[in-house]
Amino acid sequence: MRAPGPREGLPARPEVLRARPRLTDLRAGRGVPGAPPAQLDLATAVRAAGYHAELEVRGPDGDWRADVMATSPDGRHRMAWEAQLSPITVDEISQRTARFAKDCVRVCWVTTKLRP
């Protein structure tokens, strides 16, 4: 079986999951995308789904860093989970996603707001 090409199976524009944290999560300092507790929450969810999760994983050339890297149990599939607290444009997401894609890593962006 061959590894997928960098763009194979990826959408032309990235999918963005917009999160709306609950007020209780904000008060407790958890569940806020971009904050360390958000990374821990993502890693916990990844592990609960049966995948291996690592925090702050760098790409082989050092041109990207995943907040949480999810790896399938057989090691064949990887997905970066990015918790983005600060506003970001779709173009910025596209550029950063392309850096992951060249290493055959899919990305899921979790953010509270997009910048125009």
Domain edges within the chain: 16-111
Is 113 or 69 the better-scoring residue by pLDDT?
69
At 103, list the tokens: 């290493």
> How many angstroms separate the CA atoms of 92 and 4, rounded?
24
Of the pLDDT bands very low, low, confident and very high (cuts 50, 70, 90), residue 28 is: very low
> How many angstroms separate the CA atoms of 23 and 112, rounded?
13
Q: Which runs of E-coded beta strand occur in the chain?
A: 16-18, 52-58, 65-71, 78-84, 106-111
Distances from the Cα of 51 to the Cα of 17, 21, 46, 73, 112, angstroms:
20, 24, 6, 6, 25
pLDDT tens digits for 35-64? 468 888 899 999 999 999 999 999 999 999
At 41, list the tokens: 């929450």
The sheet carrying 106-111 orders its strands as 16-18, 106-111, 78-84, 65-71, 52-58
pTM here is 0.67
CATH number of 16-111: 3.40.1350
